[in-house]
């Protein structure tokens, strides 16, 4: 009876972690209601134009007025950017409609990169790029440390992705009632917990550093997103589930 209860608990917990992982992995893949609500961070640039006004820049062309303009083509900055596991999206102020783009490096794997500075510069019209660069790079914050952010965010995203795979394997082996499958299920559940916990820690540290730009009065503000907390919830659920695999 005790073993049956342990089996039931770890299956339910691992299934819950798997469902949460699915939501994490669909974050910011489109501007639809659910994916747009799920993101690691939101970057608000709505006051960037005011900060540039002190440089007498031609602000009329800073922001795009067409929500369907493609990202990364210098057609205008979006007031809101949000970033997920595989992509990032840009929308106009106060609106959900917009466009999304894979955030990976050209010719590399599908995992995204958390690098809002580069994406903002890529959207900035050519005549304003130097002004935006000098404004955002003046405080020397992590926000503009693109190489650092791209390297460590890729590591965090890969760990979170691997955790989803390990969770699926743990769930599959855990529902097969043999001693050996329970043992392997416990091993994979432990691996899932370790990878997602380390990935979440790296990502949280990066976002905390990026948020230092909030205090620089540059018109760019970074906010935590729901998906980051979902990753931590996944880690907690897997931590609780792991002992039950070995008890079963």
What is the tens place of the pLDDT at every residue in 196-239? 999 999 999 999 999 999 977 788 999 999 999 999 999 999 99
Q: Is the pLDDT of residue 181 over 90?
A: no
pLDDT over 70 for what percent of the chain? 90
Q: Is the pLDDT of residue 118 over 80?
A: yes
Distances (CA, A) of 197 to 10, 157, 241, 247: 18, 12, 14, 22
The least confident of 57-61, 157-161, 212-216, 242-246 is: 57-61
The length of the chain, given as a count of residues = 248
Q: 117 with 146: CB under 8 angstroms?
A: yes
Residue 182: which pLDDT band, with cuts at 50, 70 and 90? confident
Question: What integer pLDDT is reported at residue 96 of this predicted model?
Answer: 67
Short-list 38, 29, 41, 102, CA closest to 72: 102
- Mean per-residue pLDDT, 144-154: 91
Q: pLDDT tens across 81-101, in order?
A: 999 888 889 988 766 678 888
Question: What integer pLDDT is reported at residue 58 of this predicted model?
Answer: 59
- Dist. CA 171–CA 17, nearest whole Å: 10
Kind of pairing, strands 80-83 and 87-91? antiparallel
Residue 174: which pLDDT band, with cuts at 50, 70 and 90? confident
Domain spans in the chain, listed from the N-terminal domain onward: 1-247
- Dist. CA 78–CA 123, nearest whole Å: 8
- Dist. CA 81–CA 36, nearest whole Å: 10
- Dist. CA 208–CA 3, nearest whole Å: 42
* 0.85 surpassed by pTM: yes
Residue 157: which pLDDT band, with cuts at 50, 70 and 90? very high
Question: What integer pLDDT is reported at residue 108 of this predicted model?
Answer: 55
Q: Is the pLDDT of residue 106 over 60?
A: no
Distances (CA, A) of 137 to 22, 42, 175: 36, 20, 53
Question: What integer pLDDT is reported at residue 109 of this predicted model?
Answer: 61
Q: pLDDT tens across 13-49, in order?
A: 999 999 999 999 888 787 777 877 889 999 999 888 8
Question: What integer pLDDT is reported at residue 54 of this predicted model?
Answer: 67
């Amino acid at each position: 009876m005790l073993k049956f209860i342990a089996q039931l608990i770890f299956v339910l917990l691992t299934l819950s972690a798997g469902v949460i992982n699915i939501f994490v992995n669909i974050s910011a893949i489109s501007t639809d209601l659910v994916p747009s609500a799920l993101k690691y961070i939101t970057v608000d640039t709505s006051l960037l134009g005011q900060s540039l006004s002190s440089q007498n820049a031609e602000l009329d062309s800073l922001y795009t007025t067409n929500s369907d303009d493609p990202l990364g083509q210098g057609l205008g900055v979006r007031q809101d950017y949000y970033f997920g596991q595989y992509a990032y999206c840009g929308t106009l102020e106060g609106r959900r409609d917009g466009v999304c783009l894979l955030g990976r490096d050209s010719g590399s794997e599908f995992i995204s990169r958390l690098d809002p500075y580069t994406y903002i510069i890529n959207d900035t019209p050519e005549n304003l790029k130097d002004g935006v660069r000098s404004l955002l790079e003046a405080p020397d914050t992590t926000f503009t440390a693109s190489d650092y952010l791209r390297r460590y965010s890729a590591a965090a995203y890969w760990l979170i992705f691997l955790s989803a795979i390990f969770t699926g394997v743990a769930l599959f082996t855990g529902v097969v009632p043999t001693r050996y499958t329970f043992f392997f299920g416990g091993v994979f559940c432990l691996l899932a917990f370790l990878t997602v916990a380390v990935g979440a820690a790296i990502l949280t540290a990066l976002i905390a550093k990026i948020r230092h730009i909030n205090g620089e009065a540059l018109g760019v503000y970074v906010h935590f997103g729901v998906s980051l907390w979902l990753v931590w919830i996944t880690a907690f659920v897997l931590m609780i589930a792991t002992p039950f695999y070995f008890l079963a």
